Every structure is written in C-alpha cells, then in structure tokens.
Amino acid sequence: MDTARSELVPLDIQPIALTASEVLVYFPAQLPDGLAARLRMLVPPAVRLEFQCPPSTGLEVIMTLLDGGHHVFEGEVTPEVQVFLDRRYGYRLPGWSTLPDPFTVACRLMWKRTAAFVRVQGTVAEVTVKPEADFALLRLAENPHLRLSLPKRLGVPVVGEAVSLLGRHDFRFGMDVPLLECVAACPPATHG
C-alpha cells in the first residue's frame, strides 16, 4: 500500500507521539507501509509499540514486526487501522480522524487479545516424538522450563541443533502453562 508521507503521522499528531508512553496499533490485515518505522522514530526509545492483528494475518507481517522489536498480539480488530497514543488519543487510518472515547475503545480491544507472538531461539536439548501425534515437543537448553509444540510438517530438529521459531502463546491455556505453539521456522533474528 503506497502511503503518502503526510499519512504516516500528520504534523499535528507528532507532538503527542513524541511524549507518548504507550502506543497501541490495531490493524485488520496489513499495516500502511512505513507506519511502524515512523512511529518508532517519533516515540521515546523506551516506549513499547504494541500491534494487534487478526488470526488471518500473514506470518511475514508478524515476523517483520517482531524483527523490528515490536510486541505482536492476535485478537479482535476493527475494519480499519486504529492507533492509540496513551489510550487518551485515538485515530482511525487512513486520514488520522479522531476516535470518540479512545480509552474505552483501546481497553476493549486489549481485552480481546487471544495470543501473543514471540520468536524463540536456542539449542534443542530434548525432543519427544510420538508416531500418532502430528507434532513434536521440544525443550531448549537456554529455557528448559518452556515446552515447544512443533508441527511435524515444519520438520523435527535433533538434539544439539540450533533453531529459530515463531511461537504463538494462546492465552486460553493460561499464563502459567509453559507451552508455546510454534507456527513457523524462521531465520535467526538480526535485531539487538
């Protein structure tokens, strides 16, 4: 999607972004080109940028956001891109039109999160494969308490192999269940 520079973050909104302590972005499938990078340039370095997308979002979009150091969640979204700065200011894109009652809308959408995406890298310490199952269970040497469920179609690594995986933690399992569903194998992360 070709986005004009003024569409990225309008001049009258930039001062609000410069002082934001929280940025939430909800998008239906695809982000406007350059929006994540432009927001990162505007907000203070310590501010988390959180993106929420529907289950149908392509893995390449999720990986690009994770590689940019952003936090990515799966959950309910609106038909258009919405950006919230400190949940006090909300905007509908394209056009950056002001949303009524941004705090309520942002909080409602946050409570509709169903999963979080993470990149997991490490050395395989243990592999459990049952012939009747369509997945393998892995443990990494770097985090032995975390169990990884890896579909066999992605390939089953061997002990000692270095892996980089895109994982999806489903909140319906609860936060105390250390099981991460792997949805893709990926190249090692390059950001610091």
pLDDT tens digits along 107-132: 999 999 999 999 999 999 999 999 99
Gap between the Cα atoms of 21 and 49, Å rounded:
9
pLDDT tens digits along 42-67: 999 899 999 999 999 999 999 999 99
Q: What is the pTM of this model?
A: 0.85
Domain boundaries, the chain: 5-111, 116-185
Q: Do domains 5-111 and 116-185 have the same CATH topology?
A: no
Q: Which CATH class is domain 5-111?
A: alpha beta
Q: What was the pLDDT predicted at 173?
A: 66
Which residues neighbour 5 within 8 Å (Cβ) at sequence distance 6 or greater?
none
Residue (of 149, 20, 185) closest to 90 by Cα position: 20
Mean pLDDT along residues 68-86: 94
Cβ distance 136 to 180 under 8 Å? no
- Assigned fold of 116-185: OB fold (Dihydrolipoamide Acetyltransferase, E2P) (2.40.50)
Gap between the Cα atoms of 60 and 3, Å rounded:
20
